[in-house]
Chain A
Amino acid sequence: DGGITQSPKYLFRKEGQNVTLSCEQNLNHDAMYWYRQDPGQGLRLIYYSQIVNDFQKGDIAEGYSVSREKKESFPLTVTSAQKNPTAFYLCASSIGTGSDTQYFGPGTRLTVL
């Protein structure tokens, strides 16, 4: 089955620890994205990548880091510098950027204790 996967569904971490969220797609999409969703707010773009080995900051990149070493994978690291990391994190991919439809993974709910 073609699709985009994120694991785990729920993740708990202690304050001060870095944590990496995985995102994998087998849709052969060039572009991948990370969003954060908080109650009462829209999806906010953290980072996006248009092609392998290239990525750009979104609106709220502070405290996060990414890598794009393979086309299929776009992991997001939430560092201890992120002041309020508890949120629902969504990964998406699209054929290209712009008007191409973004397809979302099931999301990871991160809770920092």
Chain B
Amino acid sequence: GQNIDQPTEMTATEGAIVQINCTYQTSGFNGLFWYQQHAGEAPTFLSYNVLDGLEEKGRFSSFLSRSKGYSYLLLKELQMKDSASYLCAVLDFSGGYQKVTFGTGTKLQVIP
């Protein structure tokens, strides 16, 4: 089975930097996704990490440490439109097939 942990809620100020952490436990790790989901809308893809290290994509960066079972999403120069839930999802190979399991998500509120 899998266990994925993320903080439930976070608040940050416009223009600031925020780091959203995700820890996981799985036996057949094959990669980790981050998705953004605005309230009532579909999740949209942000990043995919399979190797250790930092992947930067504009204002958003994602980090992975496979040995620690840990990832974070870093959002810089926060904007009001970044208020959303951020979902960590782990790709796991077990039982002969690959499967993506989502965490419960972190609801980020950006305040002026």
Contacts and interface: CB of A to CB of B under 8 A. Distances in A.
Contacts, number: 51
A106 to B, nearest CB: 5
B42 A105 contact: yes
Interface residues of B, number: 26
Interface SS of A by simple majority: loop
Contacts of A35: 102
B103 A99 contact: no
A41 B104 contact: yes
Interface of A: 35, 40-45, 56, 88, 90, 97-99, 101-107, 109
A40 B89 CA distance: 15
A43 B42 CA distance: 11
A42 B105 contact: yes
A42 B3 CA distance: 12
Contact of B48 (A88, A90, A101): A101
B105 A90 contact: no
A45 B42 contact: no
Contact of B104 (A42, A56, A105): A42
